[in-house]
Amino acid sequence: MKVIELIDYLQQNIEMSPKNLVGKVAINKKEVLSTLNEIRRALPDELEEAKNLVRRRDAILSEARKEEAAIIENSRKRAQEEYENCDILLAARREAEEILEKANSEANQIKAAAVKEAKELRYGVMNYADSTLSTLQKDIDLIGEESLKVVQNEMEEMLIRIYKEISSTTTRIRENNKELGNTNE
């Protein structure tokens, strides 16, 4: 959850930054870049947690399958023993069928629960990763747009200065030409 906290911090930092008369926000570039680096470092940890959840799900499913097989095998052995050792063959068959049905039912319940938990974990991980990446992309886009505006403003100011310098130089050259023309007469 550290990534979400860092993104919240970054958003709060941007929202709380002072604005100039035009409404542009002045942000501390070093602090924003540092926060983005922390987000990058935290993402692998949280993705590793998600992988661990998926591994745990797989282990639960594997254990459920083993339990199912063991229950079924035990039921078969018990039914076979009852069949061989019992005088009442029909009673033994009924009991074996009940045990087998119960084992299958329990195995199906365990399997269904494990599959459900696995799906929930997978969807949770996918939604979390998508939400985190979406928020991060929005923040990056916003910072990019603001940076582009700053560069555009600086370029406009530079072009205006160059234009004024050229105009000033042209005016001086004309004045010098007039003076030269006046002195030659």
- Contact yes or no for 91/133 (Cβ under 8 A): no
| Overall average pLDDT of the 85-108 stretch | 82
Q: What is the per-residue pLDDT for 86?
A: 62
Over range 34-53, report the average pLDDT: 81
Per-residue pLDDT for 79 more than 80? no
Q: Mean pLDDT, to the nearest integer, of 78-107?
A: 80
Q: Where exactly are the structural domains of the chain?
A: 2-184
pLDDT band at 133 (very low <50, low <70, confident <90, very high): confident
Q: Higher model confidence: residue 172 or residue 46?
A: 172
pTM of the model as a whole:
0.32
